């Protein structure tokens, strides 16, 4: 829904937003990606530079990394390349601009223009009921989706997954728990519920300031719960 809003409201910003959401690249790294960094056969993009104060610099990590976009951003890049070729004919450029996400003149994209476009998209999306999101959270959202198997992790994080900074509990249910932890928690809740029902049937109330689980353990230690409970 966020991408569809961007495609309608900010069509020039839509390819960059789709690339950020699907690859987890930093905004400054995405601005510095060139067409020569795209390996169409292997479906990979090499992120090896960044942009700082209008100049090309090494990436934040100091090392180049390979990004494997899913089919959706790969299709976005192909459509964008076709659009750049049409712009070359229309504007009489000698060559396609080297930067994938370039300005209207073919140079580096101004970060302030990205911020303005993002604010317009976010406000329109929020009016449609989409949760507010910082553009930087797109990177951590991508990693959160990779942790639950929805997409492949980015670069070296495939071997060493890390906890995303964006709160996963706001992005999808049960992202903060593994499948085994969810199963054990459900069993624990079911066990406490059965014991609580048994205590109430035998006249042991659970009123008071202590949690029910603590009172149940106390009753177990005092031997007030019979062995016929099965728990």
Contacts of 23 (CB under 8 A, 6+ apart): 30, 45, 67, 69, 73, 142, 154
Question: Average pLDDT in the 91-116 region?
Answer: 92
Under 8 Å between Cβ of 139 and 25: yes
Quick one: which of 174, 161, 167, 133 has its CA closest to 21? 133
**What single DSSP character describes residue 158?**
G
Alpha carbon 211 to its chain centroid, in Å, reads 36
User: For the chain, where do the domains classified as CATH 1.10.443.10 start and end?
Assistant: 2-170
The CATH class, in words, for 2-170 is: mainly alpha
pLDDT 10s digits, 156-201: 444 344 444 444 444 444 434 456 676 777 787 888 788 878 877 7
pLDDT band, residue 136 (cuts 50/70/90): confident
Q: Give the integer Cα–Cα distance in Å for 13 and 146.
A: 24
Q: Is 55 helix (H, G, I), strand (E, B) or coil?
A: strand
CB atoms within 10 A of CB 176: 13
CA angle 179, 182, 186 (to 5 degrees): 140
pTM for this prediction: 0.60
As a whole number of angstroms, the distance between CA 29 and CA 20 comes to 10
Q: Give the C-alpha distances (Å, rounded to integers) separating 54 from 18, 31, 139.
A: 23, 10, 22
How far is the first Cα of the chain from the last one, in angstroms, to the nearest whole number?
Answer: 48
| H or E segment and range at residue 38 | strand 38-39
Query: Tens digit of pLDDT for each residue in 8-29?
Result: 999 999 999 999 988 888 899 9
């Amino acid at each position: 829904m966020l991408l569809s809003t961007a495609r309608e409201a900010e069509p020039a910003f839509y390819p960059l937003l789709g690339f950020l959401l699907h690859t987890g690249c930093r905004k400054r790294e995405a601005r510095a990606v060139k067409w020569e960094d795209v390996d169409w056969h292997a479906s990979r993009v090499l992120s090896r530079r960044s942009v700082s104060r209008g100049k090309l610099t090494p990436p934040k990590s100091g090392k180049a990394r390979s990004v494997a976009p899913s089919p959706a951003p790969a299709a976005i890049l192909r459509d964008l390349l076709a659009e750049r070729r049409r712009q070359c004919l229309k504007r009489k450029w000698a060559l396609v601009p080297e930067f994938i996400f370039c300005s209207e003149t073919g140079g580096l994209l101004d970060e302030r223009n990205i911020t303005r476009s993002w604010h317009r998209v976010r406000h329109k999306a929020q009016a449609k009921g989409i949760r507010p999101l910082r553009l930087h959270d797109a990177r951590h959202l991508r990693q959160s989706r990779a942790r639950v198997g929805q997409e492949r992790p980015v670069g070296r994080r495939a071997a060493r997954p890390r906890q995303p900074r964006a709160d996963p509990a706001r992005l999808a249910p049960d992202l903060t728990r593994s499948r085994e932890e969810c199963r054990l928690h459900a069993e624990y809740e079911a066990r406490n519920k059965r014991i609580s029902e048994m205590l109430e049937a035998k006249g042991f109330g659970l009123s008071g300031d202590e949690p029910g689980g603590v009172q149940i353990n106390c009753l177990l230690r005092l031997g007030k719960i019979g062995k016929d409970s099965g728990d």
